[in-house]
Amino acid sequence: MIKGVVAIVGRPNVGKSTIFNRILGERVSIVEDTPGVTRDRIYGKGTWLTQDFRIIDTGGIQLENQPFQEEIKAQVEIAIEEADVILFIVNGRDGVTGDDEFIARMLRRSGKPVVLAVNKIDDATLQGNIYEFYALGLSEPIAVSGSHGIGIGDVMDALVEAFPEKQQPELEGIRFAVIGRPNVGKSSLVNALLKEERVIVSDIEGTTRDAIDTPFEQDGKHYVVVDTAGIRKRGKVYENIEKYSVLRAMSAIERCDVVLFVIDGESGIREQDKHVAGYAHEAGKPIIIVYNKWDAVEKDEKTMNRVTEQIRTQFVYLSYAPILFVSAKTHQRVNTLLPMIEDVYHYSQLRIATNVLNEVVMDAQLTTPAPTHNGQRLKILYASQVAVAPPTFVLFVNDPQLLHFSYRRYIENRLREAFGFDGSPIRIIARSKD
Ligand code: GDP
Ligand code: GDP
């Protein structure tokens, strides 16, 4: 259960990213090992005791060619918009500065809960430095040292404590997120979908986070569009900051069951599309590729095949994702979206009986045994599905080191031939049997 979202704010060099990394702990290195994903993370998941929360380092959201105060203002506004609790970091060696006061004023006006951390209190002799920060009129200052890892637990306690109590009941239905770079037609698509279906106006008094999800119904089935507000550009001023739109996309991806990844058919595939798709893939969610603005594409009978090939070449790792060619403008094939969402959701939740799974895996091994490697050969002894969403399989083998990329892909392909899993990533883990 995710408690909510924390955003870190503060002047440059006070230690925001140091503390962000401390809070993420070992997760950072896992994340940074993923190829094709931007290195300088500003978004992650923190865990304290039994509580999970998301955390944003707004210091990583930079405006180009803007005066310094405009940049801080934007960061604080984004934090107020996105977060349930704000972690305000100041530098205990500098005392209270004018910029600290400026930030504190914005935070006080927002009414959001704030945890105030006074950083760079590396030893007890500096403890006295924290008292002047009471003057900011926020919560009680907590002494920390990001680089020494002192006081981080106290900060986490305070953050978890500060989350708004009210937990809303989850909205019913398959939750899908519509992601893609600006202007690909996300908002038009959602409008097209919602216009055709019955939008359920929820009378449950919501927290900000749930109020931005829109539930609707078709043929007695329930769906939820995640982060409709983001799609409809409530934060319009900042939508062109790539980091900010990626942040929104990541948070939507994390909270959904199915991802609709939208490409603009009019302007074609761009570099930024790849970042967005990379995050979706990495999150292990089922994905549908929606090639929008099909009405605006000049085409003959070969165009669809050619574009399909292009998409497959550009997004090799999304080979499992079905592609739909639609027009939000003319509504062409918009009615195929929901059935496809049902489909890929079903596959992401599919559980294969162990005996059937083993028949397929053993048969695959019999037909094409793993190649030998330095005189050794991988031998799969048995297989077991350990999770859904994404479907995850453990192969018990003689030596996990011997499972190489191409054989893993071969097994994946055989599993897909046998069971489908359309739209859903599959994870295969090798474990030694002893
Ligand atoms: P940001 O710009 O707010 O994200 O700040 P950084 O996390 O990049 O830190 C700025 C500088 O302060 C770096 O040189 C850090 O090593 C240093 N720093 C961060 N935390 C501490 C701390 O607790 N004590 C001391 N002495 N230096 C720190
Ligand atoms: P978003 O930023 O991804 O939400 O994109 P919008 O939905 O705001 O659409 C951006 C622009 O593309 C607008 O001018 C839309 O009218 C236009 N647009 C969206 N969908 C289509 C479509 O299917 N066909 C055409 N020709 N234009 C579209």
ipTM for the complex shown? 0.76
Tell me how long the chain is. 434
- Are residues 276 and 332 in contact, defined by beta-carbon separation less than 8 angstroms? no
> Class for domain 174-349, per CATH?
alpha beta
Pocket test for ligand 2, best of 179, 183, 238 (most atoms within 8 A of CB): 183
Going from the Cα of 80 to the center of ligand 1, the distance in angstroms, rounded, reads 23
Closest Cα to atom 15 of ligand 2: 185
Can you read off the two tokens belonging to residue 164? 């708004």
The HSE-up count of residue 66 (CA atoms within 13 Å, CB side) is 14
Identify the nearest ligand to the CA of 180 by its number. 2
Q: Is 340 left (phi over 0), alpha (psi -120 to 50) or beta?
A: alpha
Identify the nearest ligand to the CA of 296 by its number. 2
pLDDT digits (tens, 9 = 90+) for 120-176: 999 999 999 999 999 999 989 999 999 999 999 999 999 999 988 765 666 789 999
Can you read off the two tokens belonging to residue 98? 């004018």
Angle subtended at Cα 8 by Cα 98 and Cα 135, rounded to the nearest 5 degrees: 35
| CA dihedral (170, 171, 177, 182) positive or negative | negative
| Report field, pTM of the whole predicted structure over 0.80 | no
Can you read off the two tokens belonging to residue 131? 């008292």
pLDDT digits (tens, 9 = 90+) for 259-317: 999 999 999 999 888 888 888 888 899 999 999 999 999 999 999 999 999 999 999 99
Give me the residue label for tokens 């005791």: 49
Does the domain spanning 2-162 belong to CATH 2.40.50.140? no
Section 167-194 average pLDDT? 86
Going from the Cα of 276 to the center of ligand 1, the distance in angstroms, rounded, reads 30
Which CATH number is associated with domain 354-432?
A: 3.30.300.20
- In ligand 1, the atom with minimum distance to the C-alpha of 144 is 23
Going from the Cα of 16 to the center of ligand 1, the distance in angstroms, rounded, reads 7
Which residues belong to the annotated binding site?
Answer: 10-17, 57-61, 119-122, 180-187, 227-231, 292-295
- Are residues 86 and 9 in contact, defined by beta-carbon separation less than 8 angstroms? yes
Pocket flag, ligand 1, residue 122 (CB < 6 Å):
yes
Amino acid at 429: I
Section 12-34 average pLDDT? 72
Pocket flag, ligand 1, residue 58 (CB < 6 Å):
no
Identify the nearest ligand to the CA of 22 by its number. 1
Checking if the pLDDT of 68 tops 90, the result is no
Closest to 16 in 3D by CA, of 103, 98, 84: 103
Closest Cα to atom 27 of ligand 2: 293
Strand order in the sheet with 392-397: 380-387, 392-397, 427-432
- Are residues 224 and 173 in contact, defined by beta-carbon separation less than 8 angstroms? yes
Considering the chain, what percentage of its residues have pLDDT values greater than 90?
62
Q: Does this chain's domain 174-349 share its CATH topology with 354-432?
A: no
Query: What are the residue boundaries of the structural domains of the chain, listed by start?
Result: 2-162, 174-349, 354-432
Residue 128, C-beta contacts closer than 8 angstroms, at least 6 positions apart = none
